[in-house]
Amino acid sequence: MSKSGGKDTTTAKKWVSYFDALRMISAMAVVLIHVSCKGWVKIPIGAPGWWGSNFWDGATRWAVPIFVMISGALMLDPAKKFSIKKIYSKNILRMIVVLRYGLFYIFCLIFLYLRMILLAS
């Protein structure tokens, strides 16, 4: 066991190669969800393009849960030692910041959409 600066350098982080492949495939699937959603909303129901958009939208819905499962697998690695305090201070606070930004963005879109509707009538 070699030590450098008080830290053990012989233990390497466990790298799971298929997590990287799943991340890449999931990222492409999320992009496809967003692209197909645009066609799903704009094309008349029952048209061939609507069926294609609906197919791709439904066929790629697995992507977001895969991201959540990979995050959980990496965060809850049994080799890592973690405490409830660390989870709350590091991970939960980050999620709250992202959630607040997302909610702000959604409220801005709703406001602009409602404003557009009111100005049109």
51 plus 102 within the same structural domain = no
Ramachandran sector of residue 77 (left: φ over 0; alpha: ψ -120 to 50; beta: rest): beta
Would residue 9 count as lying in a domain? no
Give the confidence band of 11 by pLDDT, cuts at 50, 70, 90: very low
50/24 same-domain check: yes
Give a yes or no: residue 111 inside a domain: yes
Do 90 and 110 fall within a single domain? yes
Average pLDDT over residues 52-68: 91
The contacts of residue 90 (CB under 8 Å, 6+ apart) are none
| CA–CA gap between residue 72 and residue 67 (Å, rounded) | 9
- With cut-offs at 50, 70 and 90, classify the pLDDT of residue 13: low
pTM score > 0.95 for this model? no
Instruction: Look at residue 45 in the predicted model and tell me its pLDDT.
Output: 86
Quick one: 23 and 62 in the same domain? yes
116 in the same domain as 63: no
> Does 54 map to a domain?
yes
Least confident of 3-17, 45-59, 75-89, 101-115: 3-17
Residue 39 covered by a domain: yes
pLDDT tens, residue by residue, 107-119: 998 998 888 888 8
Q: CB count, 10 Å around CB of 57?
A: 19
Structural domain includes residue 102: yes
Domain match, 31 and 43 both: yes
Task: Provide the pLDDT for residue 85.
Answer: 79
Whether 2 is in a domain gets the answer no
| Two structure tokens written together for 19 | 């997590």
Domain that holds residue 103: 81-121
The predicted structure's pLDDT at residue 100: 93
Please tell me the number of Cα atoms within 13 Å of 115 on its side-chain side: 6
Domain total in the chain: 2
Q: What is the pLDDT of residue 94?
A: 83
